Amino acid sequence: MKLSMMLLALLGMAIASLDAHARVVHEERSLYRNILVEDRGRERCLLFSERRRGGAYQTCIDRADPDRLVFSYVRMMFAGLLLAPAPERILLIGLGGGTMPRVLEALYPEAEQDLVEIDPAVVRVAKAFFDFQPTANMRIHERDGRVFVKRALLSEQKWDLILLDAFTDEYIPEHLLTQEFLEELKGLLSEDGVVVANTFANSRLYHHESATYRAAFPTVASLRESGSFNRILIGLDRPWPGQTTLETRARSLAPALARFGVDIDGYAGALQTEWTYDRKARVLTDRYAPANLLQGRSVLGPVQKE
């Protein structure tokens, strides 16, 4: 107990030290949250918080090396390309600072991107402070992700790569983490499409989240780096390809992804279709969705978020 308290105290001092060296370059209260942009040395970071200060890092960019993806979870999300290596249509729910659309534009300049963000202030901040410059192939939709998905189903739209990154460590839109919603996403997949989600790995929610993705998709894979509080879940409506296929695709993708610091070869070997979780955990549904209660608040500091 004493050792644990000492570690927490040291971590608190480290976080305080970081805050002391951060310079706020923008601050506003949107309809949904407090938004701050801070410069921390060579990095510029976007924070969302229900309180005035503190909260999760949503995006950090390296101003001296804009191609470098700062957060490990962002790099891990590109593991989805092992399952959809040449996407022509991409859907992203949760814009943050616009890092992923910028990289995907560089990789696939001809691909169409639909970017869904509920908060217009986030779109403005991404453009003003994070060098997010939408191209002619990007369509920004300022609306709730679930509403967008339901309308897309009605019009029978399909995407090859669907990226879900709409949660923070302070708040989870619970209607975006249920079996029904994930099945709706599955209904938007093209024949070779894939859903890639940034999820949590440091609370009771881990078990329920695992069970929910298992209930919604015939095939699910998990990817997590040691020491990270984030993990990536990948859902498919088809069988898992063999390891040889993943390794072949990784070799093909590696040269283009190297400039962004993405270890696609390592991800090909680290993806797991079987992992440990409580198999008795209840599936989250539209009628049972206590995701925020299950996630709680981490005592170990902010979770990396895009």
Q: What residue segments make up the domains of the chain, in order of their start?
A: 2-62, 72-284
User: In this predicted model, what pLDDT tens digit does every residue of 104-118 receive, in sequence order?
Assistant: 999 999 999 999 999
Which residue in 165, 169, 237, 263 is the catalytic one?
165
* 14 Ramachandran zone, left/alpha/beta (phi>0; psi -120 to 50): alpha
- 74 CB burial (10 A radius; 0-12, 13-18, 19+): buried
Q: How far is CA 257 from CA 105, 108, 216, 261, in A?
A: 12, 12, 30, 7
What pLDDT sits at residue 16? 39
pLDDT band per the 50, 70, 90 thresholds, residue 28 = very high
Alpha-carbon span 244 to 262, nearest angstrom: 20
**Cβ count within 10 A of residue 201:** 19
User: In this predicted model, what pLDDT tens digit does every residue of 227-246 receive, in sequence order?
Assistant: 778 899 999 999 999 999 99
Q: How far is CA 218 from CA 178, 181, 240, 286, in A?
A: 16, 15, 9, 20
User: pTM score, two decimals?
Assistant: 0.89
Secondary-structure class of domain 72-284 per CATH = alpha beta
Q: Which residues pair with 28 in a beta bridge?
A: 35
The pLDDT of residue 8 is above 70: no
Q: Is 165 a catalytic residue?
A: yes
CB 278 within 8 A of CB 204: no
Rg (CA), the chain: 19
